[in-house]
Amino acid sequence: MTPPEVLAGAKRISVGPDLTGLLWTRVRTTLTAPARQHLRRTFPPVAVRAFTATTEQYWQDWLSDDNLDELDGLVVVFDSSGLPIAWVASNDRVFGGRKCFYANSAGVHPDHQGTGISGRIWRALLRAALIRSAPRTLHAVMRTGNPLVYGAWSTAAGRSGTAWPAPGAEVPEHIGRIAEDAATALGQADRLDPATLVITDAYDDTESGLWTTRPTSDRPDIDTWFDTLLGPRDAIVLVVAFRPLRIMLDETRRDLRRALGLRKPHPSRTSRAPSHDPDQHDVHDR
Protein backbone atom coordinates (compact mmCIF):
# COMPACT_ATOMS: atom_id res chain seq x y z
CA MET A 1 0.00 0.00 0.00
CA THR A 2 1.27 3.45 -0.90
CA PRO A 3 2.03 5.34 2.34
CA PRO A 4 -0.49 8.13 3.07
CA GLU A 5 2.26 10.72 3.39
CA VAL A 6 3.21 10.14 -0.26
CA LEU A 7 -0.35 10.77 -1.46
CA ALA A 8 -0.50 14.32 -0.07
CA GLY A 9 -0.24 16.96 -2.80
CA ALA A 10 -0.35 14.43 -5.63
CA LYS A 11 -2.95 13.68 -8.28
CA ARG A 12 -3.73 10.03 -8.98
CA ILE A 13 -3.47 8.84 -12.57
CA SER A 14 -4.50 5.51 -14.06
CA VAL A 15 -1.54 3.26 -14.83
CA GLY A 16 -2.73 -0.32 -14.45
CA PRO A 17 -3.98 -2.92 -11.96
CA ASP A 18 -2.26 -3.10 -8.56
CA LEU A 19 -0.28 0.04 -9.34
CA THR A 20 -0.64 3.61 -8.08
CA GLY A 21 0.41 6.48 -10.32
CA LEU A 22 0.98 9.85 -8.66
CA LEU A 23 1.47 13.12 -10.51
CA TRP A 24 2.98 16.24 -8.98
CA THR A 25 3.03 19.55 -10.86
CA ARG A 26 5.12 22.47 -9.65
CA VAL A 27 7.04 20.03 -7.49
CA ARG A 28 8.55 22.71 -5.26
CA THR A 29 5.19 23.34 -3.61
CA THR A 30 3.37 20.02 -3.98
CA LEU A 31 5.93 17.31 -3.14
CA THR A 32 5.90 17.21 0.66
CA ALA A 33 8.89 16.59 2.91
CA PRO A 34 7.60 13.14 4.01
CA ALA A 35 7.09 12.15 0.36
CA ARG A 36 10.62 13.25 -0.48
CA GLN A 37 11.98 11.21 2.40
CA HIS A 38 10.07 8.14 1.21
CA LEU A 39 11.51 8.54 -2.29
CA ARG A 40 15.04 8.90 -0.95
CA ARG A 41 14.64 5.65 0.97
CA THR A 42 13.09 3.61 -1.83
CA PHE A 43 13.87 5.19 -5.21
CA PRO A 44 17.67 4.78 -5.68
CA PRO A 45 17.71 0.93 -5.61
CA VAL A 46 15.12 0.93 -8.42
CA ALA A 47 16.96 3.56 -10.46
CA VAL A 48 20.25 1.64 -10.47
CA ARG A 49 18.39 -1.40 -11.82
CA ALA A 50 17.18 0.74 -14.74
CA PHE A 51 20.51 2.54 -15.27
CA THR A 52 23.07 -0.16 -14.65
CA ALA A 53 26.21 2.02 -14.67
CA THR A 54 24.94 4.48 -12.07
CA THR A 55 25.15 4.36 -8.27
CA GLU A 56 22.60 4.92 -5.52
CA GLN A 57 24.49 8.07 -4.55
CA TYR A 58 23.99 9.39 -8.08
CA TRP A 59 20.22 9.14 -7.53
CA GLN A 60 20.35 10.50 -3.99
CA ASP A 61 21.91 13.59 -5.54
CA TRP A 62 19.09 13.73 -8.12
CA LEU A 63 16.57 13.58 -5.28
CA SER A 64 18.10 16.59 -3.55
CA ASP A 65 15.70 19.41 -2.72
CA ASP A 66 17.49 21.74 -5.14
CA ASN A 67 16.94 19.35 -8.06
CA LEU A 68 13.38 18.36 -7.14
CA ASP A 69 12.37 21.99 -6.69
CA GLU A 70 13.29 22.73 -10.30
CA LEU A 71 10.94 20.06 -11.69
CA ASP A 72 7.66 21.25 -13.17
CA GLY A 73 6.28 17.74 -13.50
CA LEU A 74 6.96 14.43 -11.77
CA VAL A 75 5.13 11.11 -12.03
CA VAL A 76 6.08 8.12 -9.91
CA VAL A 77 4.37 4.73 -10.09
CA PHE A 78 4.24 2.59 -6.96
CA ASP A 79 3.53 -1.12 -6.70
CA SER A 80 1.16 -2.70 -4.18
CA SER A 81 3.86 -2.69 -1.49
CA GLY A 82 4.45 1.05 -1.85
CA LEU A 83 7.76 0.78 -3.69
CA PRO A 84 8.44 2.96 -6.78
CA ILE A 85 8.77 1.01 -10.03
CA ALA A 86 8.69 3.75 -12.71
CA TRP A 87 9.04 7.50 -13.05
CA VAL A 88 9.16 10.44 -15.46
CA ALA A 89 10.15 14.03 -14.75
CA SER A 90 10.04 17.25 -16.78
CA ASN A 91 10.85 20.95 -16.76
CA ASP A 92 9.17 23.84 -18.57
CA ARG A 93 11.96 25.72 -20.31
CA VAL A 94 12.52 28.40 -22.94
CA PHE A 95 15.29 27.37 -25.32
CA GLY A 96 16.13 29.28 -28.50
CA GLY A 97 13.33 31.72 -27.66
CA ARG A 98 10.72 28.92 -27.86
CA LYS A 99 8.63 27.22 -25.22
CA CYS A 100 9.99 23.73 -24.60
CA PHE A 101 9.07 20.62 -22.66
CA TYR A 102 12.33 19.29 -21.23
CA ALA A 103 12.19 15.54 -20.60
CA ASN A 104 14.45 15.51 -17.57
CA SER A 105 14.50 11.86 -16.59
CA ALA A 106 12.59 8.60 -16.88
CA GLY A 107 13.07 4.97 -16.04
CA VAL A 108 11.31 1.68 -15.40
CA HIS A 109 12.28 -1.20 -13.13
CA PRO A 110 13.36 -4.15 -15.31
CA ASP A 111 10.49 -6.31 -14.03
CA HIS A 112 8.00 -3.82 -15.51
CA GLN A 113 9.72 -2.93 -18.77
CA GLY A 114 7.83 -3.70 -21.95
CA THR A 115 4.42 -3.12 -20.36
CA GLY A 116 3.81 0.34 -21.87
CA ILE A 117 3.81 1.97 -18.46
CA SER A 118 6.40 4.59 -19.40
CA GLY A 119 4.31 5.85 -22.30
CA ARG A 120 1.20 6.16 -20.13
CA ILE A 121 2.92 8.31 -17.55
CA TRP A 122 4.81 10.41 -20.13
CA ARG A 123 1.49 11.25 -21.76
CA ALA A 124 0.19 12.56 -18.43
CA LEU A 125 2.93 15.19 -18.43
CA LEU A 126 3.10 15.88 -22.16
CA ARG A 127 -0.66 16.30 -22.60
CA ALA A 128 -0.76 19.04 -19.96
CA ALA A 129 2.19 20.80 -21.61
CA LEU A 130 0.51 20.65 -25.04
CA ILE A 131 -2.65 22.22 -23.65
CA ARG A 132 -0.64 25.04 -22.06
CA SER A 133 1.27 25.61 -25.31
CA ALA A 134 -1.70 25.55 -27.73
CA PRO A 135 -1.95 26.78 -30.41
CA ARG A 136 1.83 27.30 -30.59
CA THR A 137 4.22 24.50 -31.42
CA LEU A 138 5.72 22.81 -28.39
CA HIS A 139 9.26 21.49 -28.69
CA ALA A 140 10.13 18.47 -26.58
CA VAL A 141 13.82 18.40 -25.76
CA MET A 142 15.96 15.77 -24.10
CA ARG A 143 19.51 14.54 -23.78
CA THR A 144 19.72 10.84 -24.54
CA GLY A 145 22.06 8.12 -25.69
CA ASN A 146 19.31 5.51 -25.96
CA PRO A 147 18.12 4.49 -29.47
CA LEU A 148 14.85 3.17 -28.02
CA VAL A 149 14.09 6.61 -26.63
CA TYR A 150 15.01 8.18 -29.96
CA GLY A 151 12.80 5.82 -31.95
CA ALA A 152 9.85 6.43 -29.65
CA TRP A 153 10.01 10.21 -29.43
CA SER A 154 10.95 10.73 -33.09
CA THR A 155 7.61 9.16 -34.07
CA ALA A 156 5.57 10.67 -31.26
CA ALA A 157 4.43 13.74 -33.20
CA GLY A 158 2.75 11.48 -35.78
CA ARG A 159 4.56 12.92 -38.78
CA SER A 160 7.96 12.58 -40.41
CA GLY A 161 10.44 15.43 -40.38
CA THR A 162 9.59 16.57 -36.84
CA ALA A 163 12.63 15.24 -34.96
CA TRP A 164 16.28 16.28 -35.01
CA PRO A 165 18.94 15.11 -35.42
CA ALA A 166 17.97 12.58 -38.07
CA PRO A 167 20.14 10.40 -40.31
CA GLY A 168 21.07 12.28 -43.47
CA ALA A 169 19.15 15.44 -42.52
CA GLU A 170 20.54 18.89 -41.79
CA VAL A 171 19.67 20.55 -38.49
CA PRO A 172 17.50 23.67 -39.07
CA GLU A 173 18.82 26.89 -37.62
CA HIS A 174 16.04 27.30 -35.04
CA ILE A 175 16.51 23.71 -33.84
CA GLY A 176 20.22 24.36 -33.48
CA ARG A 177 19.49 27.34 -31.24
CA ILE A 178 17.20 25.20 -29.07
CA ALA A 179 19.87 22.51 -28.75
CA GLU A 180 22.57 25.06 -27.97
CA ASP A 181 20.51 26.58 -25.16
CA ALA A 182 19.72 23.12 -23.79
CA ALA A 183 23.40 22.19 -23.82
CA THR A 184 24.21 25.50 -22.11
CA ALA A 185 21.67 24.73 -19.38
CA LEU A 186 23.42 21.40 -18.90
CA GLY A 187 26.79 23.13 -18.67
CA GLN A 188 27.95 21.33 -21.81
CA ALA A 189 27.70 23.90 -24.60
CA ASP A 190 31.41 23.59 -25.32
CA ARG A 191 30.93 19.85 -26.05
CA LEU A 192 28.01 20.23 -28.47
CA ASP A 193 28.57 19.61 -32.19
CA PRO A 194 25.97 21.89 -33.87
CA ALA A 195 25.96 19.79 -37.04
CA THR A 196 25.06 16.51 -35.33
CA LEU A 197 23.69 17.73 -31.96
CA VAL A 198 26.06 15.27 -30.26
CA ILE A 199 27.37 16.16 -26.80
CA THR A 200 30.74 14.51 -26.24
CA ASP A 201 31.19 13.01 -22.76
CA ALA A 202 27.67 14.04 -21.83
CA TYR A 203 27.62 11.50 -19.00
CA ASP A 204 30.92 12.45 -17.43
CA ASP A 205 29.75 11.99 -13.84
CA THR A 206 29.78 8.20 -14.24
CA GLU A 207 32.74 6.11 -15.32
CA SER A 208 31.08 4.38 -18.28
CA GLY A 209 27.90 6.34 -18.99
CA LEU A 210 24.45 5.25 -17.86
CA TRP A 211 24.52 1.63 -18.99
CA THR A 212 27.04 -1.17 -18.99
CA THR A 213 25.59 -2.00 -22.44
CA ARG A 214 23.65 0.53 -24.52
CA PRO A 215 19.95 -0.44 -24.88
CA THR A 216 18.67 -1.41 -28.31
CA SER A 217 15.40 -0.70 -30.10
CA ASP A 218 13.34 -2.61 -32.65
CA ARG A 219 14.92 -0.51 -35.43
CA PRO A 220 18.35 -1.85 -36.45
CA ASP A 221 19.01 1.24 -38.57
CA ILE A 222 18.67 3.52 -35.53
CA ASP A 223 20.75 1.17 -33.38
CA THR A 224 23.53 1.19 -35.98
CA TRP A 225 23.33 4.97 -36.36
CA PHE A 226 23.68 5.45 -32.61
CA ASP A 227 26.64 3.04 -32.43
CA THR A 228 28.34 4.99 -35.22
CA LEU A 229 27.44 8.41 -33.85
CA LEU A 230 28.01 8.00 -30.11
CA GLY A 231 30.67 6.76 -27.75
CA PRO A 232 29.69 5.11 -24.43
CA ARG A 233 29.45 8.46 -22.58
CA ASP A 234 28.13 10.57 -25.47
CA ALA A 235 24.54 11.70 -26.07
CA ILE A 236 22.46 13.70 -28.52
CA VAL A 237 20.19 16.63 -27.82
CA LEU A 238 16.93 15.37 -29.30
CA VAL A 239 14.35 17.98 -30.34
CA VAL A 240 10.83 16.98 -31.41
CA ALA A 241 8.23 19.49 -32.66
CA PHE A 242 4.64 18.88 -31.52
CA ARG A 243 1.74 20.84 -33.01
CA PRO A 244 -0.96 20.78 -30.30
CA LEU A 245 -4.03 21.46 -32.44
CA ARG A 246 -3.17 18.72 -34.91
CA ILE A 247 -2.46 16.25 -32.13
CA MET A 248 -5.74 17.06 -30.38
CA LEU A 249 -7.61 16.60 -33.66
CA ASP A 250 -5.90 13.26 -34.26
CA GLU A 251 -6.80 12.12 -30.73
CA THR A 252 -10.42 13.12 -31.27
CA ARG A 253 -10.53 11.10 -34.48
CA ARG A 254 -9.02 8.07 -32.75
CA ASP A 255 -11.52 8.31 -29.90
CA LEU A 256 -14.38 8.51 -32.38
CA ARG A 257 -13.13 5.51 -34.34
CA ARG A 258 -12.76 3.57 -31.10
CA ALA A 259 -16.30 4.50 -30.02
CA LEU A 260 -17.66 3.36 -33.38
CA GLY A 261 -15.65 0.14 -33.31
CA LEU A 262 -13.65 1.18 -36.37
CA ARG A 263 -10.20 1.40 -34.87
CA LYS A 264 -7.71 -1.15 -36.15
CA PRO A 265 -5.42 -2.69 -33.55
CA HIS A 266 -1.84 -1.47 -33.64
CA PRO A 267 1.02 -3.93 -33.68
CA SER A 268 3.01 -4.04 -30.48
CA ARG A 269 6.16 -2.01 -31.04
CA THR A 270 8.56 -0.91 -28.36
CA SER A 271 9.42 2.23 -30.32
CA ARG A 272 5.83 3.36 -30.61
CA ALA A 273 5.75 6.66 -28.73
CA PRO A 274 5.25 8.02 -26.32
CA SER A 275 4.45 4.53 -25.02
CA HIS A 276 7.86 2.92 -24.86
CA ASP A 277 9.82 1.05 -22.20
CA PRO A 278 12.41 1.54 -21.00
CA ASP A 279 12.17 5.31 -21.49
CA GLN A 280 15.47 6.26 -19.92
CA HIS A 281 16.97 9.72 -20.21
CA ASP A 282 19.77 11.26 -18.25
CA VAL A 283 19.52 13.24 -15.03
CA HIS A 284 20.93 16.72 -14.51
CA ASP A 285 20.39 20.08 -12.80
CA ARG A 286 21.85 19.09 -9.48
Pairwise CA distance, residues 286 & 269, whole Å = 34
pLDDT given for residue 260 in this prediction:
63
Q: Which residue has the higher pLDDT, 62 or 281?
A: 62
DSSP string, 75-131: EEEE-TTS-EEEEEEEEEEEETTEEEEEEEEEEE-GGGTTSSHHHHHHHHHHHHHHH
Let me know the angle formed at the C-alpha of 184 by 178 and 187, rounded to the nearest 5 degrees: 150
Whether pLDDT at 86 is above 60: yes
- Reported as a single tens digit per residue, the pLDDT across 98-144 is 999 999 999 999 999 878 898 889 988 888 888 888 888 999 999 99
Cβ atoms within 10 Å of 113's Cβ, excluding its own? 23
Domain ranges of the chain: 4-259
Coil, strand or helix at 192: strand
Mean per-residue pLDDT over the chain, rounded: 85
In percent, how much of the chain has pLDDT > 90? 57
- CATH of span 4-259: 3.40.630.30
Q: Which residues contact 27 (CB under 8 A, 6 or more apart)?
A: 68, 69, 70, 71, 72, 73, 74
Q: Once rounded to an integer, what is the mean pLDDT over residues 2-13? A: 89
- Reported as a single tens digit per residue, the pLDDT across 166-201 is 999 999 999 999 999 999 999 999 999 999 999 999
Beta strands in 109-230 (DSSP E): 138-144, 163-164, 192-193, 198-199
Whether pLDDT at 165 is above 90: yes
Nearest to 14 by CA among 121, 99, 170, 106: 121
pLDDT given for residue 247 in this prediction:
63
| Residue 26 Ramachandran class (φ > 0 left, ψ -120 to 50 alpha, else beta) | left
pLDDT band at 258 (very low <50, low <70, confident <90, very high): low
What's the half-sphere exposure (Cβ side, CA atoms, 13 Å) at 55?
A: 7
The pairing of beta strand 20-25 with beta strand 73-78: antiparallel
pLDDT given for residue 257 in this prediction:
63
Whether pLDDT at 89 is above 70: yes
pLDDT given for residue 130 in this prediction:
86
Residue type, 191: R
pLDDT given for residue 135 in this prediction:
86
Whether pTM exceeds 0.85: no
